[in-house]
A and B are shown apart, each in its own frame.
Chain A
Amino acid sequence: MSNQGNARKLITLACIWAILLLVPYWMPPLGGYTALGTRVLVLGLAAMSVNFLLGFTGVLSFGHAAYFGLGAYGAGLTLKFVAPSTPISLLLGMLLGGLAGALLGTLIVRRRGVYFAMVTIAFGQVFYYVAFQWSSLTGGDDGLRGFSRQPLDFRLFSIDILSNTNNFYYFVLFCFAIIVAIMGFILRSPFGRTMLAIRENERRARFLGIPVERHIWIAFTLSCFFMGFAGALYALVNNFADPKGLHFSQSGDFVMMAVMGGMRSFWGPLLGAAVFVILQDYLSSVTVNWMSFVGLLFVVVVLFFPRGLLGVIRPKREA
């Protein structure tokens, strides 16, 4: 990569982080609210986790909401029954989503292409039914209530993230930054390069002696851990975990965010999530038929902008 390209990359990065850091200052004057920014960040993280698999390994999981939802329930149940601590709930939520993904992943990676997508969808629904049926633990259709995020306790001082929305936004941004850094680090590592190789030509990767199945399993598992973490954060955002968060239609939304933003780019899904969340927020406030408009958005993006918003802005660059 040339020096100029590097410089441009640094400037882009600086811009992205500046925009994210200043959300509480520019969003309310523009008619938004900071909590909306928090939601975009969390759902954007989820979309980036989906894209970790979709855009960079080239396998389509259409059931990732399951691991997102498991993370949410994991965090919620931890806060409610185990320990009233925000970090522990995040950790356990992530573990729940990630381990479930690791386990099911062993079955799922045996298939490829359309079949892979179908199996992920079907397995994703398992947890929806479990959350739905096991109402004594999960609250069933009403969702899991009765917990709330706790102040961050550092012994010497504590940070109130419950009532102060700005503090909470920065806390979420901090978590987001850590996960995104890990993702970026993995993608730059030899393992990440191998993922790209599998995406570009699976057969050739296999001929090179790369254990493709194992690599896809690892990528799948990693993305489930990220997904679980995003889900746990989402439970903290709402102080609520909803079975709808496990449903395959939620998975579809995540894939849509990734595609709409541009799935070949690292930051695309975040942009997609921002557009998607704000549009949905707006549509559901002005029309009862918002579902039709969201559906229409899917159709339009697929037919006319298959490379996503970033694909339109940067027509000829591949990640």
Chain B
Amino acid sequence: MLQLLLFNVTNGLIIGAFYVLMALGLSLILNLSNVINFAHGGFLVVGGYIAYTITPYVGFWGALLIAPPLTAAIGLVIERSLIRPLYGRDPLYSLLLTFGLAFILEDGTRFIWGAQGKPVTVPAFLAQPLSNEFFFITGYRLFMVATVAVSVTLLFVLLRFTRLGIRIRAGTLDLETVSALGVNVGMLRSLNFAAGIYLAGLSGVLAAGQLGLEPTMGAGLLMPSFIAIIVGGVGSLTGTLLGGLLIGVASGVTAVFLPAASEAIMYVLMAVVLLIRPRGLLGEEGMMT
């Protein structure tokens, strides 16, 4: 029983780490630009498929390095051409636009790579379980968590100590003042968007190794990221991190007792948080209301 619980908590943390990676990208874009990027799942899938396509040439490690920036580049083009005209308008419009974009990305990947699922091979030593005792932790899952940990640390360092990061954080609080101080806000938004999509692409490569690839997988992975943001508190990246891990563990533990409810528990958690702390765990009052 204890081992089963341990297994599921670990499992939950691993899944949670994955949600975090995706939710952080969403959160970055939401915080600065007030855009709910519905196409985030679509970008994830695109990242995964790009990795699948280039793996035969550059190997898994090469794909891990190259696919996310390529995805970010696609994101940048879309932001510059389609999303930029919508800043300053009712958030409804960017929501609808990215919603339509998600359709196009899903259908596009189906058109290019086919509706059939695609497996992605990971290096052999990663596919092994760690040991007999911890049979449930494959090297790949550990590697996923490590990648997430490194990326999250890098992101937070970037936001804390670099000029770009400081501007992004300042823009989250008051974009108008940042603009008045002479920062090119358009550029800031573009870079920030690209960073968010980079994280989506990275999630895509990681997910491809674990789950394989299907054109429709993005939509299913999107919802937990939404919940992670709401639970953690809109406007707080640390909150998103906490929220992601929390719902991961909650659904992992619930899977022990009531497997059918492992998805529903996330929503219950969200309802409880909204009931007793509407702003989310680490959300600040007044943000995004």
Contact = CB atoms under 8 A, between A and B. Distances in A.
A252 B107 contact: no
Interface stretch (A67-75, A171-179, A214-222, A294-302): A294-302
A223 to B, nearest CB: 16
A295 B104 contact: yes
Contacts of B226: 118, 121-122
Interface in B207-250: 219, 223, 226-227, 229-230, 234
Which residue, of A107, A118, A249, A259, has the highest number of chain B Cβ atoms within 10 A?
A: A118
B134 to A, nearest CB: 30
Contact of B230 (A112, A119, A291, A303): A119
Contact of B278 (A54, A111, A249, A301): A111
- Interface class of chain B by DSSP: helix
Given A122-B226, A129-B264, A117 B274 contact: no
A298 B95 contact: no
A256 B100 CA distance: 10
Given A125-B223, A299-B100, A114 B229 contact: no
A193 interface: no
B275 interface: yes
B107 A292 contact: yes
Interface residues of A, number: 41
A117 B103 contact: no
B93 interface: yes
Interface string A145-176: 00000000000000000000000000000000
A202 B13 CA distance: 41
A126 B267 contact: yes
A46 B108 CA distance: 29
Contact of B263 (A107, A112, A133, A295): A133
Contact of A110 (B107, B229, B274): B274
A114 B34 contact: yes
A208 B87 CA distance: 31
A117 B95 contact: yes
A114 B91 contact: yes
A97 to B, nearest CB: 18
Contact of A252 (B99, B230, B263): B99
Contact of A113 (B85, B91, B230): B91
Contacts, number: 123
Given A129-B263, A255-B92, A289-B111, A122 B30 contact: no
Contact of B227 (A60, A122, A298): A122
A114 B278 contact: no
Contact of B108 (A259, A292, A298): A292
Interface in B18-44: 30, 34, 36, 38
A188 B198 CA distance: 49
Contacts of B34: 113-114
Contacts of B36: 114, 117-118
Interface in B50-92: 82, 85-86, 89-92
A302 B223 contact: no
24 contacts: A60-B91, A114-B30, A114-B36, A114-B91, A114-B234, A114-B288, A115-B230, A115-B234, A117-B36, A118-B230, A119-B274, A121-B223, A122-B270, A123-B270, A133-B263, A248-B223, A256-B99, A291-B106, A295-B102, A295-B103, A298-B96, A298-B103, A299-B97, A302-B94
Interface of A: 54, 60, 62, 107-108, 110-115, 117-119, 121-123, 125-126, 129-130, 133, 248-249, 252, 255-256, 259, 289, 291-292, 294-299, 301-303, 306
Shortest 5 CB-CB contacts between residues of A and residues of B: A298-B100, A295-B103, A295-B104, A291-B107, A295-B100
Given A62-B95, A121-B223, A122-B230, 20 more contacts: A60-B95, A110-B274, A111-B274, A115-B288, A117-B95, A119-B230, A123-B267, A129-B264, A133-B263, A256-B99, A291-B103, A292-B111, A294-B103, A295-B102, A297-B100, A298-B96, A298-B99, A298-B101, A302-B94, A302-B97
